[in-house]
Structure formats: structure tokens, C-alpha cells
Structure 1
Amino acid sequence: MSFEGIEVIVTVEDYVSTNQYLEKGWILLSINAVGGSLAYTLGRRGKKVDAMEGFALGAHAQQP
């Protein structure tokens, strides 16, 4: 698993919240024992940018 592109990280201590994050597209990064309970660490990648967004051919490349 690559952590490249992870922009936001949260830690929650219950599986219900963890499942809610996962349904929204977050990625489970780790599960750790903390005291007598578990801590779930999740991450969210940034939005992918379309390299062609806003691209337009110049007048010299357009056909009449």
C-alpha cells in the first residue's frame, strides 16, 4: 500500500465511525491497540486533477 497522495489523516476509536469513513472513500491505514481498545487510523487522498481540464487547441491547430 502506498501512502502517496494522502492529504488528511484521522484516528477514531469505534468501528461504526471507521465504517462511515470507509463508505466515503477513506483508506484504512492502520489499526492499533490503545489501552483496552482499538484505534483506527484512516487517510484520504486529494482529489485527482484532470490534466486536460481547461485545455483548448490554439487557433493554429483548429480546422476551419
Structure 2
Amino acid sequence: MDIALLSLALSQGKVQHQASMSVMKKSLDQEEQGAEGLTKMIASAEVGALQMAAQPHLGGNIDLKL
């Protein structure tokens, strides 16, 4: 077996592995950001629900003048 060919194959495998890990890390970072956004949205919805429970008369009517 040719040593140069073997070295080239191992080097290509290493580069492919590094590229794959880089893509996975990028994907994981994006998922973490999405989860943080979702957590913030849920927290703000809970605050809105608590405000409606504390003052149910606010925001239920709209005054219109024509």
C-alpha cells in the first residue's frame, strides 16, 4: 500500500470530521438561541396571563366614536 495515498486519505477523513463537527456546533448554537427565544416568549405569555387574572376588566372593551 502506498504511504502517500494512505496519508492523503487520513488527512481527508480528518478534514471531513472537522467540517462535520463545525456544522454540528453551529446547528447546536442555533438551537440554543431558538430555545432561549421560546423561553422568553413563554415567560412573557405567563406575565400577560397573570396581568389578565389580576385585572380582568382591562383590555376587554374598545371605545369607538364615529
- TM-score normalised to structure 2 length: 0.29
| Greater share of strand | 1
Pair member with larger Rg? 2
Q: Which has the higher helix share?
A: 2
- Normalising to structure 1: TM-score of the pair? 0.29
